[in-house]
Structure 1
């Protein structure tokens, strides 16, 4: 196979590419800003030095890494029109996409029972799940054509470039997706079931309404993330290649990354109060210095 893989984005229309670039750039900056704020405020404010905020800080760091794997390269290709890069780089992007993406699901599953060992376990389990398939993938012979119909190096379109039988890898990818998505989804459903049961016992209707407002926002993001991922990766035949796959992938690589920091942390009353206090302290400090 040639030494480069051309990645076809969401569109070949130059005018539409510019529009997508501007929207995606704004989204990318919002994702970074939201996650950086969470990491910073949970580090500097002593009131947020609890296991829950330790988890949220790690989750925001993970979300930032996941976003950096996909969006900057896609922005570069939209801006310059240069869509080709080396096969090793493509495979590396694919590995980190699934490694970090799997970690996101395991973090969501332990969101209500957080400690250092669980967080480290999320990273380790994700790595071990992806390792066998990755080793097999690296040893595949590629013989073209060297174009994939996607905006990042996903497994399914990359398998289309191989000139050998990829049945074992397809089965491995399917098993990994089932273990990752369905196991964490089950835990998440049980956790949210317990939360809803607790909320129903709140005597105040105003309190129940406020709790359900927060819970419904969380559930919406979880539903988008899981439904798009399950549709994309849990199905017979991992070759993909549908144009609609690009749209579905956009939801779980960009849309949920935008919502997560604002729903899981920045709407939290303690975080909002910490941000207000930080702004007040900065204002007082500037006044003293002036």
Structure 2
């Protein structure tokens, strides 16, 4: 508009939990404990899958990679969040925000694909046990993991470029705990319909399709398990799948709700809570879910730790 002065945004202010000024120290302590538990728990899983011969199988190869992914995923957001809570400095540069979003999208897409790969591994193990050693060779497992890590890189870089090509003018207050697409689009001072459409397309490719494949795998898995003659066999088969299924529900559920909700100026606190689930809660509970329900992991841990 002619005669209107626009201020180009050079940095953002991540409001985080600024609505709770008296709880900053408490929140710092909570998130620090959570981050340490994520690093420790997932680090132990990685170590166990490396040193224990009993865990040198495709299932635990994928689990070790998944735990490494969880450490990377939380390290994109949590250290910056902790620094902000400790120093009360909520500023983040334009470039740092773009970098954070890019890595968040890449690692989030990788997590969706890797969860689908893990579901496929369980499908082959339970539905085609005789062919499992032939299908899930180490070379194939490595290819599936590499594919999960690399497939989304060009797409997510393009998505990030699209978002940060928007003109941001006026307010630079980002009502979120980290740089994410929904709160960033609220600050854009131009039409965001095309970018929102591309976000939904990417969500379908990297969230909905893997989720549908996971559900399809589990329908076949459950059908096969119910046909097993012994209750012991059914219990063992279910126990190897329920851990993965719990992680899938936690991650996909919160991420899908966050990105499929219509934009609203009053949805800040809801988005923050939902984002905590898929960026922090799932990585924190991942080691506990897999270790507490898995006899192989427990036995490997007993051998590793001093009596």
Q: Which TM-score tier does this pair reach, normalised by the shorter chain?
A: 0.7 to 0.9
Q: TM-score, normalised by structure 1?
A: 0.88
Change (3 A) 1:204 1:18: farther
Runs (5+) with no aligned partner, structure 2: 1-7, 122-135
1:132 CA displacement: 2.4
1:268 CA displacement: 2.3
**Distance (Å, rounded) in 1 between the aligned partners of 2:233 and 2:111:** 30
Q: TM-score, normalised by structure 2?
A: 0.83
Change (3 A) 1:171 1:153: same
| Number of matched pairs | 281
Deviations 1:47-100 (A, max 9, x none): 322222221111111110001001111111112211112111011101111110
* Cross-structure match for 2:193: 167
**Distance (Å, rounded) in 2 between the aligned partners of 1:169 and 1:40:** 41
* Cross-structure match for 2:116: 109
The one of 203, 206, 213 aligned to 1:177: 203
* Cross-structure match for 2:100: 93
My pick for the range that moved more, 185-194 or 211-220, is 211-220
Output aligned runs, 1:25-174, within 5 Å: 25-111=32-118, 112-113=120-121, 115-174=141-200
1:127 CA displacement: 1.3
* Cross-structure match for 1:221: 247
Q: Aligned-residue CA RMSD in angstroms?
A: 2.3
Change (3 A) 1:224 1:101: same
Assess if the C-alpha contact under 8 Å between 2:13 and 2:91 holds in 1. Answer: yes
Assess if the C-alpha contact under 8 Å between 2:101 and 2:160 holds in 1. Answer: no
* Cross-structure match for 2:29: 22
Q: Name the SS of the counterpart of 1:257 in structure 2.
A: helix
Q: Name the SS of the counterpart of 1:110 in structure 2.
A: helix
Assess if the C-alpha contact under 8 Å between 2:239 and 2:293 holds in 1. Answer: no
Q: Name the SS of the counterpart of 1:96 in structure 2.
A: helix
Change (3 A) 1:207 1:240: farther
Runs (5+) with no aligned partner, structure 1: 284-290
My pick for the range that moved more, 265-274 or 111-120, is 265-274
1:109 CA displacement: 0.5
